[in-house]
Amino acid sequence: GIQVEQSPPDLILQEGANSTLRCNFSDSVNNLQWFHQNPWGQLINLFYIPSGTKQNGRLSATTVATERYSLLYISSSQTTDSGVYFCAPGGSQGNLIFGKGTKLSVKP
Amino acid sequence: SQTIHQWPATLVQPVGSPLSLECTVEGTSNPNLYWYRQAAGRGLQLLFYSVGIGQISSEVPQNLSASRPQDRQFILSSKKLLLSDSGFYLCAWSVSYSYEQYFGPGTRLTVT
């Protein structure tokens, strides 16, 4: 099955800093999603991005499917950005394969 | 707009007791439905998915089962819980022609 590696595993930022989270996957995929898991466990959809680049406010994402990686950019980070960020490429049945996540802590 | 509900939000059950978790989706017809489990500090693992009433596919052999008695209802069950069944259970849905999934609020299960 598809293997997913996310880096870094942990990230501590000062409020206002920028960051890049990386997701490598081992096989070609039909879909890829980025999620933010808040402290209450809710998974919040950030991007559905099987290829290309998308932007939503301070967040943007790029997936280069041919090279099997995706990047999530967070600019001008805020304390509310804290939590765990998951990359989840999709298998052939539409199921998502989750990485172990990047735990982000933004300090005021 | 579409919404997804899960209940209960939290559950503490003794080893050997039965389990029933429910997930319902509103505002869409014939969704694909998924059950995932998240162990503490880990990513999510797919347990079951369904593309229609009575159609269930299992990804991981385990102590659990799933059923889809109605179009927008997905149930996760167990006859006898194990300690290893503890975790955070999330239900998700997608429209039948799309891969993009949306998650419910989850049920935190502790087996004692």
SS3 content of chain B, % helix, strand, coil (to 5): 5, 55, 40
A3 touches chain B (CB under 8 A): no
Cα–Cα distance between A73 and A81 in angstroms, integer?
12
Whether A41 and B102 lie within 8 Å, measured CB to CB: no
Q: What is the pLDDT of residues B31-72, one digit of tens each?
A: 999 999 998 877 899 999 999 999 998 887 678 999 999 999
Residue of A nearest to B42 (CA): A100
Cα–Cα distance between A98 and A2 in angstroms, integer?
10
Determine the distance from the C-alpha atom of residue A47 to the mean position of all C-alpha atoms in its chain, rounded to a whole number. 8
Quote the pLDDT of residue B35.
95
Q: Is B93 exposed, middle or buried (0-12, 13-18, 19+ CB in 10 A)?
A: buried
Cα–Cα distance between B43 and A26 in angstroms, integer?
17
Whether B46 and A95 lie within 8 Å, measured CB to CB: yes
Quote the pLDDT of residue B61.
66
Rounded percentage of chain A residues whose pLDDT exceeds 90: 83
Quote the pLDDT of residue B77.
96
Q: Six-digit token pair at B41? A: 């500090």
Question: How high is the mean pLDDT of chain A?
Answer: 94
Rounded percentage of chain A residues whose pLDDT exceeds 70: 99
Q: Is B11 exposed, middle or buried (0-12, 13-18, 19+ CB in 10 A)?
A: middle
Whether B43 and A41 lie within 8 Å, measured CB to CB: no
**Alpha carbons within 13 A on the beta-carbon side of A68:** 10
A7 touches chain B (CB under 8 A): no
Whether B106 and A41 lie within 8 Å, measured CB to CB: yes
Please state which of the ranges A46-60, A64-78, A92-106 shows the lowest mean pLDDT. A92-106
Query: How many residues are given for chain B?
Result: 112
pLDDT over 80 at B97, yes or no: no
